[in-house]
Every structure is written in C-alpha cells, then in structure tokens.
C-alpha cells in the first residue's frame, strides 16, 4: 500500500535487484488479448520457477484527482482490502496467504495497481478475488471511518514528520501551477479530513472497470490457459463508460522560482527541478531518452559525475541524486536533489550543480561515459528480466500511462542509441533557468515555532 | 461584466466618488426580510433622487470553483444575458435601456452580482427580469460557443497581453498552494478551452436559487412596497438544496517564496504579499481592521508614507500601492506592489518597502497619521453614502462573504478605534518573511522568445 510520488525505473530496479544472481534470460516475448468488455490481458511466459505474478493495473491515480478530493485514489486502494459481498473484511489477504502467496498494492500519479505472487497453479484464486473486487466492493462506512485515520497517520509519518518528503511535497506543489502532478499521491491533509465514503463509491464506480484496467501475468504459465481463465473470471464483468481524464495543461513557466522551507530538521536539503517533456508529450521521440541518459551520466552509480565530482571530489555534497522518468502521462520535472556536506552551504551545492549542468551544455559527454551507461543499462535490464514481478510491473506501467507495452523491449536499444550530441542538445534546450524551481530546506531547531500545524509529532502503526 | 480579482473598499470608493459633490447623508438604516424560499431582501431608503438600484448577489464566484473548470462563474455571468424562455437573447438589456436604466454584472472570488439602476417607479421591471433569469435561463449551446470566444478574448486582452495583470495572476497562483484564491476569476485559458455549456447548466442549477441570493435595493422606495413586489416576482421561485462550498484550507507557508516573471513589458514591476487573516477567519476581531488602517497609513492618499517617502522623497518608486480587504470569505494576502522609478532597481524598491515595514514594527505610527486616516475614512464614507449604488454594493458584498450587512454601518467606527499599538502588533505578527511571496516582473524586449504561448498579441472587441 504505497503512495509512490515518483517512479524511476533504473533506480528502483537496480536498488532492489542488484544483489540477485544473474540467470539467463528466458522470458518469452509476451502476447496480448482484449476481452469483449475491454479488459486488456498481457501474458509473458517465464518458466524458470513454478511461480506467477498477477497484476491488475487501473488507469487511475493522483493525477486524475481534483483539488478538494486529493488522495482519493490512494484511499480507495486501501479500501480495496475491506471486503466484497462474497469475501468479507480481510479475507482477500487471508486467502492469498493461506495459498502461500503474497500480495499488496500501490498507488502512483498515473495508476493504481494490485498484485499477487503465487505458485503458478494457484492463479485462478488471484483472478477470482481480483475480478470480484473490481466491481463488487462493499465500502462499508464504518471501515472507511477507521481506515481514513490509518491513512492520515501514514501521511503524518511519511510526509509531515519527514522533512525531506515535506519539502519535496511543497516543491512539486510550487513547481507546477496547474498540472495535477503538483498533487501529492497521499493527498493533502485538509482533503483527507473531509473525504467521504460516498466520494469513494463514486470514484470506484467511475474508474474500476474492465475497460479501464490491464491484467498482466508473468510466470510459469501458458498464454492460452491464462486467457481462458481470465475470460471465465473477468469476462462476466460489465464495461463502464470511461470519461477520459480532463486535460489540465501547465501554463508556460515564465522565470525561475525559489522557495524556502523552514521546518525542524537535522540536515539542509536542496531540490532543483526543470520542466521537461516525456515520451507521451513529445514528437521528437529521442529527447526523453536523451534526458534519461543525461540523468544516468550525472547520478547513475558510483562512477557517475555527481558522485565522482561532488561527493568524492570537491566533497561539497553529502548526498546527491537526479530523478527523471520518460514514462509518465504528463510532462514531468528533471530534478537534482541532495544535501551539502558538513562545512558546505546549500549555495555552494547549488553552484556546483549549476556548474555540472553548464558543462553538459558546453562539452559533449565522452564515449567512455556513454559506454559505461550502456553497460549499466544492459546489466540492469538483465537483472530486471530475472524478476517476473518487475517484468509485469514494466508492462503495467507502460500501458497505464498510455504507451505500448512493447516499448519495454525497446528501452535499452533506445537509450543505447543516444549520442553525446543529443545529450548536449537536450541540456541546452531544457535545463534552463526560466523553467527552474529551486526549493531549499532550512533546518530549524526542534523547539522552533515553525512546526507545521498539521504535524502531530507522533507516529503510530501504519498498514 | 467585470472579473474582479480583488476588491478594495476604500480604493474603489474613493477612486470613483471623490469628484462627486458632498450632500447631507439622509439614507435610512435599512431593513430586511427573508422570503419563505430563502431569498434575503435588504432595503435602504434614500429619497434624495427618484431613483433606485436593484442588485441580486449570488454566493458563487471563482473561489467556489475547482481546478479544471476555473472561470465557470464568470462565463455563466456572461450567459445570464443570453435569454430565458420568456425574454430572448438581448431582451433583458434592451428592456432596461428602453426604460431609461442601465445595468450590468460583475464576478468576484466570492460572489456574482447583477444590478439595474432605474427610475424608482420602474423597479418592478428589474424584479420581473431578474426573477425570470434566476431559474429560467436557456443557455443555448450556439450562444455559448460564441460567448466563450468573447471571454477568451477578454482574457487575452486583460491578462495575457497585460504584463502587470499576468504577473499578478502568477503571483497569486504561486502564493497560495491550495486556497481557491489562487484561481484567477476569468479562469485559466486551458480550462476556458474545454468549458462546456453542460457544465454551465449544472453550475447554474447548483448555485442560482433564491436561497443562495441576496436582493439589495437602495433608493427612493419604501421597504414594505419593495418586500411586496419581491414577494410577487421572486416568491414563486423554488429553493434549491445548496451544498456549502468545500473548505480548502491553505497549508501553513513554511518560508519565503520568490518568483521571476520574464515577459515582454516596458516597466519592471514588483508585488509582495503576506498571508493575513480576514474578519471571517479571525477571532480577534480587531486585527483585520488594524491591517486595513495599516494599509491606509502606507498608501491611502498623497500624504501616505509610501507616497511621501518612496515616490516623492527618495524617488525610488514610480508608483506604489498596497492592497488588503478585511471582507473576504477566506484568508487573504496583504500586498505591496509598484514599479521603480527610472534609474532605480526592483531590489532597491523592495529594500525600501522592507524598510517601511520594519519601521511599522519598531515605531508606533503617530497620532497625526491616525487622525489623517480617520478623517479620510469619514470623508470616504460620506462620499459612499452619496451613491445608492455603493451603499447597495457594500451590503451585497458583506452578505455574500458571510458577514452581517449591518457591519457596513460599523466600519468607520471599527477602523477609527484602531490604536497605534494595534497597528504595531499586526505588523509584528503578520508581516513576516516566512509567509511572504515576492514576484518580480523582469521586462523582456518585445521580440523576446519569452512571449507566453497563449498570448495572441491581438486584442479585439470585448463585450
């Protein structure tokens, strides 16, 4: 039950899978079928182990929400575990667990996804349960009254009491004026305080339907068998009239923005973000890939520029990272964030980062750097292929943001084809002060008066 | 058909009425009645001339709107002139005009208001027409298709092609993260582009009802006669279920924000805004009044501090103003804005303004200054009483933001009671960097690439 604020392929994949042993890639190319009710099913065979991952991805998330009801997608995700007419409170998780599986869910800006990892011969169990809760959720008011308190506690713990996350939330809300990417996935506390179960019912009816979902299955299964099983369980569900989400286009940013965030914290923190295109919003298809490679040149691994120059070299930075994903429904930010090392200021850190960006604009990256990125990319793809879960996740994400899932197979080739000249071109075209937002966390002592009023200082158990 | 972004009593009243001859105040105290369908009627007698103003104030405006459908209240105001079943396109204005009257409407953040100024014996005509369009608007799709283009042209002319207004729009949208006061009354162009007549129909049905309106009549009339006439025309209208607007509470600002706006313009421009309370949101009732007096001390008239010190004295400023209204539905900004004089920079102007604020915090204002403000207030109240239109406007505004209209009679007394210590107190409590947003318009040459993409450069006729 995670609220993903940002999804970065490489970071996540490498972080999680880097310690797994490399095995030969034997996953099939994948095949798809769409049921008459609109449910799209994508199946990939991977027979290395007798297991399967089953994932239902709904095209709904925080970027579909409107002011006043932010956080509703994530709240609904929580309530998806609170029972249907057939399977009561807690039974979903219990049944999966009894069958030796694990399951969970996560909400992002562009999607809400549910997954089960099971022995391959138990796939029907996952399908029956997911098909049931796709249309038959009961949403009991009493359960919602309890669960919304859990969600608010989750928000206090992860955002209000976490200085970097709170700063990041304010950064996005200030960087974007109108784009729904300004909205935190968990929702604003003021909205959570007034969210009603009736609003959730409407949200559920509007978006949870076979024709707004992608079913992704990867593992030790045969596509024909999966399609037949899906037909049996999901086939009877009725399609819903899905109204495309309203286009809320970000107005052109007209100059640099700087915000200061004074909150109780131990370390200062800097986050800088440039407005950049993503694949869905871009005619010149190569530009987002060039931005991904640029991000990797700066911060991909220990031998990346920022690690080498700013952390180990000048030692201005204690930590530093970049973040960008080419796979989003709407234009995104290219961010650089980090903390200065002891004895160095935020201003020095920003100056160093600007110097790095200036170099990218003026001098082409070297072939050696490009080769390093390519090797890392290929390695991470191999790691990724080792996990049936992440193979399915890649497919589900691409489909959910409106892209063709086959793009997953082209990703490494697309990135590998990027040239030094293209990286220089996107640096000069997009990393401009006029679309930059800079947020600085200025730590206050813990007894400061600046503690935000919605911060409780207390963190309890979260689900 | 004005889209008011901000309403400042004194500025507006003084600006419009300062040249009128002063006549003895003979307006009555006013009386009210509420019809069974919820329509509140407030009548004030003023028998100096045989004229009357009739105003219908709806509790609906831009601050009720949600992202994606901004500008809908103002668009509906335009469509209120496009005919009902009984009175077709253009007939409303024609009938008023044929009877020697004038009429118009305006939309603000917290209200939409319609008025007619007529000979007192023609009041029934205004009532019949207003009652008719309160519930029977036809909203023809073809007319809306034409009118939305008129509105978009109005936006281009007044905002996109007006550097100060465009900068002000960005300033408010950045200063507030969640408060609906971040929304421009005219609406974002991206929303106007997709606004539909069906959305207007829903908006009209939700908010245009006798129990969401205040009818204000001031002039050469008797209350009993007005109540009877109102009963006759508005009495048959059915009440609507009015859902109170959703509370969208601004999160605490955690530090100063600075935004730069680089657009084609001739002059640089600075706007600074502090987050401050208003009467509706404030327990300590005197604070908003103290802020109003503080604003007046700084910029009320030629002998105010900013005029004396910055325009005529140091000559750092070419123009300078402050803006604050205690009468709003939600917490507001206290703003200072202006342009530097030739040879002076924005930085010098900001430093000078900060110096003025520092002085307000450190040194109590003088009794002479307070006396000057009191005299100006009393004079402006006299001027205001001279206009039946502004007497009605004051009442309508107060009722629309949820305050008691009798407050109008107490306003001068409340302000006059403010002490130097209270002004110093609110300066120290609210004019703080941590809730400050500073926006700077940096003029670009006219052939710059920075022209916003939604600016046409062409200004046509507006209604």
Q: Could you read off the pLDDT of B392-404 as tens digits, one per residue?
A: 999 999 999 999 9
Best to test chain A binding among B64, B193, B194, B254 (most A CBs inside 10 Å): B254
CB contact under 8 A, A257 and B258: yes
Alpha helices in B240-285, H assignment, sequence order: none
How far is residue B144's CA from residue B78's CA, in Å, rounded to a whole number?
A: 9
B interface with A, Cβ–Cβ below 8 Å: 66-68, 166, 170, 173-174, 177-178, 180, 188-191, 194, 246-249, 251-252, 254-263, 434, 440, 442, 450, 452-454
Please report how the helices B72-79 and B141-155 are oriented relative to each other, as an axis angle in degrees rounded to 10: 120
Q: How confident is the model at residue B84 (pLDDT cuts 50, 70, 90)?
A: very high
Asked if A317 contacts A350 with a C-beta cutoff of 8 angstroms, the reply is no
Name the minimum distance, in Å, from the CA of A206 to any CA of chain B: 18
Percent pLDDT > 70 in chain B is: 89
The yes-or-no verdict on residue B379 having pLDDT over 90 is no
Best to test chain B binding among A178, A186, A432, A435 (most B CBs inside 10 Å): A178
How far is residue B417's CA from residue B290's CA, in Å, rounded to a whole number?
A: 9
CB contact under 8 A, B450 and A254: yes
Asked if B53 contacts B115 with a C-beta cutoff of 8 angstroms, the reply is yes
Best to test chain B binding among A257, A263, A265, A444 (most B CBs inside 10 Å): A257
Nearest residue, CB atoms, B262 vs list A254, A261, A442:
A254
Nearest residue, CB atoms, B256 vs list A66, A248, A260:
A260
CB contact under 8 A, B248 and A190: yes
User: How many CB atoms are closer than 10 A to CB B403?
Assistant: 18
Name the minimum distance, in Å, from the CA of B435 to any CA of chain A: 10
Best to test chain B binding among A163, A183, A191, A255 (most B CBs inside 10 Å): A255
Asked if A63 contacts A181 with a C-beta cutoff of 8 angstroms, the reply is yes
The per-residue pLDDT for B462 is: 26
User: How many CB atoms are closer than 10 A to CB B102?
Assistant: 11
**Sole residue written with tokens 């503690």:** A451
The per-residue pLDDT for A11 is: 42
Positions of E strands within A285-430 = 317-323, 332-340
Helix (H) / strand (E) containing A54? strand A51-58
Q: Does A2-234 match A257-444 in CATH topology?
A: yes
Q: Is B4 helix (H, G, I), strand (E, B) or coil?
A: coil
How big is the A-B interface in CB pairs under 8 Å? 104
Q: C-alpha distances in angstroms, B183 versus A401, B66, B70, B110, B352?
A: 28, 9, 7, 12, 30
Q: What are phi and psi of A61, to 5 degrees?
A: -170, -170
CB contact under 8 A, A259 and B257: yes
How far is residue A282's CA from residue A332's CA, in Å, rounded to a whole number?
A: 12
Q: Is A161 helix (H, G, I), strand (E, B) or coil?
A: coil
Helix and strand numbers, DSSP H then E, in chain A: 16, 12
Asked if A174 contacts A24 with a C-beta cutoff of 8 angstroms, the reply is no
Contact residues for B326 (Cβ-Cβ < 8 A; gap 6+)? B278, B279, B288, B289, B291, B292
Best to test chain B binding among A166, A196, A251, A271 (most B CBs inside 10 Å): A251
What is A2-234's CATH number, 3.30.830.10, 3.50.50.60, 3.40.640.10, 3.40.50.300? 3.30.830.10
pTM, entire model: 0.89
Give Cα B56 distance to the centre of its chain: 15
Q: Is B51 helix (H, G, I), strand (E, B) or coil?
A: strand
The yes-or-no verdict on residue B20 having pLDDT over 80 is no
Residues of chain A with C-beta less than 8 angstroms from the C-beta of B188: 178, 251
Name the minimum distance, in Å, from the CA of B263 to any CA of chain A: 7
User: pLDDT for B252-309, tens place per residue?
Assistant: 999 999 999 999 999 999 999 999 999 986 566 899 999 999 999 999 989 999 999 9
Name the minimum distance, in Å, from the CA of B20 to any CA of chain A: 43
Contact residues for A282 (Cβ-Cβ < 8 A; gap 6+)? A288
A66: left (phi over 0), alpha (psi -120 to 50) or beta: beta
Query: Angle at Cα A26 formed by Cα A23 and Cα A30, nearest 5°?
Result: 140
Nearest residue, CB atoms, A68 vs list B66, B440, B450:
B66
User: pLDDT for B406-421, tens place per residue?
Assistant: 988 888 899 999 999 9
Residues of chain A with C-beta less than 8 angstroms from the C-beta of B194: 246-247
Exposed, middle or buried by CB within 10 Å (0-12, 13-18, 19+), for B24?
Answer: exposed
Residues of chain B with C-beta less than 8 angstroms from the C-beta of A180: 67
How far is residue A195's CA from residue A188's CA, in Å, rounded to a whole number?
A: 11
Residues of chain B with C-beta less than 8 angstroms from the C-beta of A443: none
How far is residue B234's CA from residue B375's CA, in Å, rounded to a whole number?
A: 41
Which residues lie across from A320 on neighbouring strands?
A338
Nearest residue, CB atoms, B67 vs list A194, A248, A259:
A248
How far is residue A336's CA from residue A355's CA, in Å, rounded to a whole number?
A: 13
Residues of chain A with C-beta less than 8 angstroms from the C-beta of B450: 254, 434
Query: Angle at Cα B188 formed by Cα B185 and Cα B194, nearest 5°?
Result: 115
Name the minimum distance, in Å, from the CA of B194 to any CA of chain A: 9
Name the minimum distance, in Å, from the CA of B351 to any CA of chain A: 18
The yes-or-no verdict on residue B455 having pLDDT over 60 is no
Token representation of residue B289: 């009044």
Q: Write down the ipTM of this complex.
A: 0.86
Q: What is the pLDDT along chain A (463 residues), one digit of tens a residue?
A: 555 544 444 444 443 433 344 444 456 789 999 999 999 999 999 999 999 999 999 999 999 999 999 999 999 999 999 999 999 999 999 999 999 999 999 999 999 999 999 999 999 999 999 999 999 999 999 999 999 999 999 999 999 999 999 999 999 999 999 999 999 999 999 999 999 999 999 999 999 999 999 999 999 999 999 999 999 999 999 999 999 888 889 999 999 999 999 999 999 999 999 999 999 865 668 999 999 999 999 999 899 999 999 999 999 999 999 999 999 999 999 999 999 999 999 999 999 999 999 999 999 999 999 999 989 888 888 888 889 999 999 999 999 999 999 988 888 899 999 999 999 999 999 999 999 999 999 999 866 444 444 333 322 222 2
Q: What are phi and psi of A34, to 5 degrees?
A: -115, 125
Architecture of domain A257-444: 2-Layer Sandwich (3.30)
What residues of B are labeled active site?
Answer: 77
Asked if B383 contacts B17 with a C-beta cutoff of 8 angstroms, the reply is yes
Domain boundaries, chain B: 2-234, 257-444
Nearest residue, CB atoms, B251 vs list A177, A188, A256:
A188
Encode burial over A338-360: b for 16+ CB neighbours within 10 A, e otherwise.
bbbbeebebebbbebbeebbeeb
Nearest residue, CB atoms, A255 vs list B248, B254, B260:
B260
User: How many CB atoms are closer than 10 A to CB A237?
Assistant: 21
User: How many CB atoms are closer than 10 A to CB A372?
Assistant: 18
Closest CA to A31 of A236, A228, A233, A227: A227
Rg (chain B; Cα; Å): 22
Name the minimum distance, in Å, from the CA of B454 to any CA of chain A: 8
| Averaged confidence pLDDT in chain B | 90
Give Cα A425 distance to the centre of its chain: 27
Contact residues for B183 (Cβ-Cβ < 8 A; gap 6+)? B62, B63, B65, B67, B70, B109, B173
Token representation of residue B226: 């007005």
Tell me which of A221-230, A449-458, B31-40, B89-98 is least confident. Answer: A449-458
Give the torsion sign (CA, B278, B282, B285, B286): negative
Rg (chain A; Cα; Å): 23
Most distant CA pair in chain B, distance: 65
A interface with B, Cβ–Cβ below 8 Å: 66-68, 166, 170, 173-174, 177-178, 180, 188-191, 194, 246-249, 251-252, 254-263, 434, 440, 442, 450, 452-454
How far is residue B130's CA from residue B201's CA, in Å, rounded to a whole number?
A: 17
First to last CA, chain B: 8
The per-residue pLDDT for A1 is: 55
User: pLDDT for B151-170, tens place per residue?
Assistant: 999 999 999 999 999 999 99
The per-residue pLDDT for A284 is: 66
Alpha helices in A286-366, H assignment, sequence order: 286-299, 305, 346-362
Closest CA to B59 of B38, B83, B30, B36: B38
Residues of chain B with C-beta less than 8 angstroms from the C-beta of A247: 190, 194
């Amino acid at each position: 039950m995670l609220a993903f604020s940002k999804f970065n392929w490489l970071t996540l994949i490498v972080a999680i899978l880097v310690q797994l042993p490399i095995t030969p890639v034997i996953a099939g190319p994948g095949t798809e079928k769409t049921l008459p009710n609109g449910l799209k099913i994508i199946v990939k065979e991977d027979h290395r182990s007798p297991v399967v991952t089953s994932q239902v991805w709904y095209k709904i998330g925080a970027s579909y929400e409107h002011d006043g009801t932010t956080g509703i997608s994530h709240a609904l995700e929580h309530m998806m575990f609170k029972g249907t007419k057939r399977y009561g409170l807690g039974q979903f998780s219990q049944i999966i667990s009894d069958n030796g599986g694990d399951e969970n869910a996560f909400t992002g800006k562009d999607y809400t996804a549910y997954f089960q990892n099971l022995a391959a011969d138990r796939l029907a169990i996952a399908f029956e349960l997911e098909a049931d809760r796709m249309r038959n959720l009961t949403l009991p008011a009493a359960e919602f009254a309890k669960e919304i308190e859990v969600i608010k506690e989750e928000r206090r713990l992860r955002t209000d009491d976490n200085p970097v996350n709170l700063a990041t939330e304010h950064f996005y809300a200030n960087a974007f004026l109108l784009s729904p990417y300004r909205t935190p996935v968990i929702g604003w506390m003021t909205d959570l305080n007034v969210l009603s179960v009736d609003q959730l019912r409407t949200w559920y009816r509007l978006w949870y339907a076979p024709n707004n979902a992608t079913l992704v299955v990867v593992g030790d299964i045969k596509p024909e068998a999966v399609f037949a099983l899906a037909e049996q369980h999901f086939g009877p569900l009725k399609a819903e009239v899905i109204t495309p989400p309203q286009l809320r286009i970000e107005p052109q940013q007209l100059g640099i923005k700087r915000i200061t965030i004074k909150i109780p914290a131990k370390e200062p923190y800097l986050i800088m973000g440039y407005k950049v295109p993503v694949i869905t919003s871009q005619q010149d298809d190569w530009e987002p890939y060039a931005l991904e490679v640029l991000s990797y040149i700066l911060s991909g691994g220990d031998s990346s520029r920022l690690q080498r120059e700013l952390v180990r070299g000048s030692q201005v930075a204690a930590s530093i990272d970049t973040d960008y994903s080419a796979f989003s429904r709407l234009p995104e930010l290219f961010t650089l964030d980090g903390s200065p090392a002891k004895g160095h200021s935020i201003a020095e850190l920003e100056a160093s980062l600007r110097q790095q960006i200036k170099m990218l604009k003026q001098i082409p990256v070297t072939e050696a750097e490009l080769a390093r990125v390519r090797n890392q990319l290929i390695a991470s793809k191999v790691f990724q292929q080792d996990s049936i879960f992440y193979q399915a996740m890649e497919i589900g994400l691409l489909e959910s943001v409106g892209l063709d899932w086959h793009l997953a197979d082209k990703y490494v080739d697309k990135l590998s084809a990027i040239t030094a000249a293209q990286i220089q071109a996107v640096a000069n075209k997009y990393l401009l002060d006029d679309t930059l937002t800079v947020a600085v966390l200025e730590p206050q002592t813990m007894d400061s008066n600046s503690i935000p009023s919605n911060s409780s200082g207390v963190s309890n158990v979260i689900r």
